[in-house]
Amino acid sequence: MQNRIQEIKEKAMALIDQAQSPEKIQEARVRFLGKKGELTALLKGMKDVDPEMRPKVGAWVNEARAEIEKRMEQAGEQMKAELLKKRLEAEKIDVTLPAKRPEHGHLHPNEIALREVERIFTGLGYEVVSGPEVEYDEYNFEKLNIPKGHPARDEQDTFYINSNIVLRTQTSSVQARIMEQGKLPIRIISPGRVFRSDAVDATHSPSFHQIEGLLIDKKSSFADLKGTLEIFAKELFGEDTKTKFRPHHFPFTEPSAEMDVSCFKCGGKGCRFCKGEGWIEILGCGMVHPHVLEMCGLDPKQYTGFAFGVGLERIALLKYEIDDMRLLYENDLRFLEQF
């Protein structure tokens, strides 16, 4: 019996010494010391041992168990130390290496264009103001000479929250709010997001940005409007840029006009960029309608003014020669990193 116990102990020791992982040590524990292990089986068979030999056999088995458990504990500690050493070597940081250079972001094309426009107009004495995107019908339509029943109120073009509240379709609502305050003279631009029920394509989106300008003062004229916008065009597109005004209609201005700029790619000769016309439509403008002044609490006999509006995305598309508006919103780094 003693030889059998010694044989089991030697097999257990050999298996423990060969173990390469904690899992292998656990396998050895189960094989020799578990409920169905080889040493445990000897204890269960004590009933077949001569009564006089039972104390000795029990002592031999317990001594073998203690030695096996001690060897397992030593092997486990050694294995943990080796694993820790390997992990520390694999995860060590070489502090002498140069640090990774952080990636710096940059401005979106829309923001670049917006800051350029703001720079031009603040240089002319204008103030940048903002207003709510969810707007009252009164400011978005009524005070801008767009009464109920006007086509601009069509539900196909406007997002209605209820009969009195809309998602603003233009930042002209900010102009109405500023005029209502009565702090004259007024020289402002009002950039911001607007909403219209348009299908998404290369030149349309249900959400886009506008920059609208307003000047209210005594003796302001259409000549002042033309001079202001000419300076704006030359600053934005280059000193050689020419401007052209075409009659148009807007409910909140009278007279009204659309302004074109000479193509900055071909100098007005005609090319693919301007579709062979030599001119590019850029914005709408006009003298503030007397009725709008009255509804905002101003006397049209004392004060006149002009207003203009341009799409921010249109400026970005033209200035950076982008042919699809959707590229501005898709967050594709391959596109955005070009700016």
| Sequence ranges of the domains in the chain | 2-91, 109-336
Please check the confidence at residue 60 and state whether its pLDDT lies above 70: yes
- Is pLDDT larger for residue 55 or for residue 279? 279
Q: Please, are residues 170 and 152 in contact by the beta-carbon 8 Å criterion?
A: no
| CA distances in angstroms from 284 to 140, 189, 201, 246, 319, listed in the order given | 17, 14, 22, 9, 18
- The per-residue pLDDT for range 162-221, each reduced to its tens digit, is 989 999 999 999 999 999 998 999 999 999 999 998 888 888 889 999 999 999 999 899
Please state, for a pLDDT cut of 90, what percent of the chain lies above it. Answer: 45
Please check the confidence at residue 44 and state whether its pLDDT lies above 70: no
Q: Please, are residues 197 and 156 in contact by the beta-carbon 8 Å criterion?
A: yes
Is 208 strand, coil or helix? Answer: strand
- The per-residue pLDDT for range 244-255, each reduced to its tens digit, is 999 999 999 999
Predicted pLDDT at 105: 80
Round to whole Å and give the CA distance between 325 and 310.
15
Round to whole Å and give the CA distance between 23 and 182.
83
- Dihedral sign from CA coordinates of 199, 201, 205, 211: negative
**Which of 11-20, 91-100, 126-135, 313-322 tops mean pLDDT?**
126-135
- Is pLDDT larger for residue 19 or for residue 131? 131
Predicted pLDDT at 43: 67
Q: Please, are residues 178 and 127 in contact by the beta-carbon 8 Å criterion?
A: no
Averaged pLDDT, 18-28: 78
* Fold of the domain built from segment(s) 109-336: BirA Bifunctional Protein; domain 2 (3.30.930)
Which residue matches tokens 């670049």? 112
Q: Is the peptide bond before 290 cis (omega within 30 degrees of 0)?
A: no
Helix (H) or strand (E) holding 58: helix 54-91
| 233: amino acid identity, one letter | A
Round to whole Å and give the CA distance between 214 and 286.
10
Measured between its terminal Cα atoms, the distance across the chain in Å is: 86
